[in-house]
């Protein structure tokens, strides 16, 4: 058994829907590596909002600031109303500017591809996700509306408007993060994704910043791709790409596309990184209709645990955990329904049983 060098204190946020189940599976698997973890459990999300009127209480932020590392379950974001995304609020409050989403194909996963090992690195703080939007007619937006009218375009009176913010500062920061990530992990190429042919003043800033930073890393190949072409390229030949660095919206979309290449969101982890702070969470949503059914695939959450262990300097434990997950998926026996060739296969196991299988497989590494 691998023993941690010292005790790590980690903030644990169970989340909504299936969150508590998959995060519990991840917690058990992380502990089974032998690394010493003290979990500080705090609550965020729908139930907290109903109780205290705030889905992200200050005590959650304070816990993450204090511990510097968090493992978080998915949290429901209401569509069209209610509170704003807790994920977006977390990223803004803690300046978690880099979202890292590895999309790696594990043999046994349901996919038509045979070779995919991509990492999508997404700028987390700007772009349309800055949340600066309004409807025409609001009294405090008249000056801006006049500017927009002077710029031309088809500005209809019933329009909703979102502002796309791309700064040189944030763009250089995320591109440099992508190159440092690639260099540290021995990856060979970084591709900047943009739409600068159309959005010359926003995506243009991102592309210029990417080219400037790339010159500082002559040991790593650099290229850029227009986002729509990038989508086609990824479907046709994902094996020729390595690290993708993107503004916020494109990163969100492309990371789901890449997850589809390797078998779906159920096996895709992510981490949100700032200066000295990292929050690890599965890419998939809270799937409330499956809450409490012991049915959800815990793979993404368990792989978040492996990413977290690597971040904590526990590389051997991280590799051990990832190898165990890979073995369980490859064997295809003790896996949830979505990892079976036939989703109705009666031999499919539940969330906790798949975690048991991963823990058992770790004994062989």
CB 269 within 8 Å of CB 104:
no
Q: Which of 72, 104, 172, 195 is catalytic?
A: 195
- Are 14 and 73 a contacting pair, CB within 8 Å? yes
Helix axis angle, 351-362 to 299-311, nearest 10°: 40
- From the list 95, 211, 228, 333, the catalytic residue is 228
Would you state the structure tokens that stand for residue 127, as one six-digit string? 């772009």
Query: Which DSSP string do the residues of 91-140 spell out, in sequence order?
Result: HHHHT--EEEEEEEPPTTSS-S-S--EEEEEEE-SSBGGG--EEETT-GG
Of 252, 334, 338, 356, which one is the catalytic site residue?
252
Whole-angstrom Cα distance, residue 50 to residue 196? 43
Q: How many residues does the chain have?
A: 365
Give the chain's radius of gyration (CA, Å).
21
Q: Give yes or no: 252 in active site.
A: yes
Determine contact, residues 351/22, Cβ cutoff 8 Å: yes
DSSP string, 241-281: --EEEE-HHHHHHHHHHHHHHHT-GGG-EEEEE-SS-EEEE
d(CA 190, CA 214): 9
228 annotated active-site = yes
Cβ-contact 67, 312 below 8 angstroms: no
Contact criterion met (CB below 8 Å) for 94 and 279 = yes
103 backbone dihedrals φ, ψ, rounded to 5°: -125, 95
Q: Which of 97, 106, 129, 181 is an active site residue? A: 129
Given the DSSP bridges, would you call strands 69-72 and 8-13 parallel, antiparallel or unpaired?
A: parallel
- Establish whether 129 is a catalytic residue: yes
Q: Which DSSP category does 302 fall into?
A: H
Catalytic residues: 129, 195, 228, 252
């Amino acid at each position: 058994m691998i023993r941690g060098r010292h005790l790590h204190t980690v903030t644990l946020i169970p989340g909504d829907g299936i969150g508590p189940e998959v995060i519990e599976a991840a917690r058990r698997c992380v502990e089974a590596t032998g690394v010493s973890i003290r979990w500080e459990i705090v609550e965020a999300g729908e139930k907290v909002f109903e109780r205290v009127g705030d889905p992200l209480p200050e005590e959650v932020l304070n816990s993450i600031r204090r511990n510097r590392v968090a493992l978080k379950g998915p949290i429901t974001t209401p569509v069209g109303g209610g509170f704003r995304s807790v994920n977006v609020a977390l990223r803004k409050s803690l300046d978690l500017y880099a979202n890292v989403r590895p999309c790696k194909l594990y043999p046994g996963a349901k996919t038509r591809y045979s070779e995919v090992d991509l990492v999508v690195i997404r700028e987390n703080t700007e772009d349309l996700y800055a949340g600066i939007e309004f409807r025409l007619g609001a009294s405090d937006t008249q000056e801006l509306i006049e500017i927009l009218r002077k710029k031309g375009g088809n500005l209809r009176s019933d329009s909703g408007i979102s502002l796309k913010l791309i700064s040189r500062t944030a763009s250089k920061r995320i591109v440099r993060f992508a190159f440092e990530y690639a260099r540290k992990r021995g990856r060979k190429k970084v591709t900047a994704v943009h739409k600068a042919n159309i959005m010359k003043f926003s995506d243009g800033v991102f592309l210029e910043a990417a080219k400037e930073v790339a010159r500082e890393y002559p040991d790593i190949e650099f290229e850029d791709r227009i986002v729509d072409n990038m989508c086609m390229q990824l479907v046709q030949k994902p094996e020729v790409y390595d690290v993708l660095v993107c503004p916020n919206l494109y990163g969100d979309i492309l990371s789901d596309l890449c997850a589809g290449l390797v078998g779906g969101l159920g096996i895709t982890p992510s981490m949100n990184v700032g200066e000295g702070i990292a929050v690890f969470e599965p890419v998939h949503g809270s799937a409330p209709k499956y809450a409490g059914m012991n049915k959800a695939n815990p793979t993404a959450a368990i792989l978040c645990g492996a990413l977290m262990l690597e971040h904590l300097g526990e590389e051997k434990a991280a590799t051990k955990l990832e190898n165990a997950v890979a073995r369980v998926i490859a064997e295809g026996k003790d896996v949830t329904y979505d990892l079976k060739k036939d989703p109705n296969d009666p031999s499919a196991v539940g969330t906790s049983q798949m975690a048991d299988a991963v823990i058992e497989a770790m004994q062989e590494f």
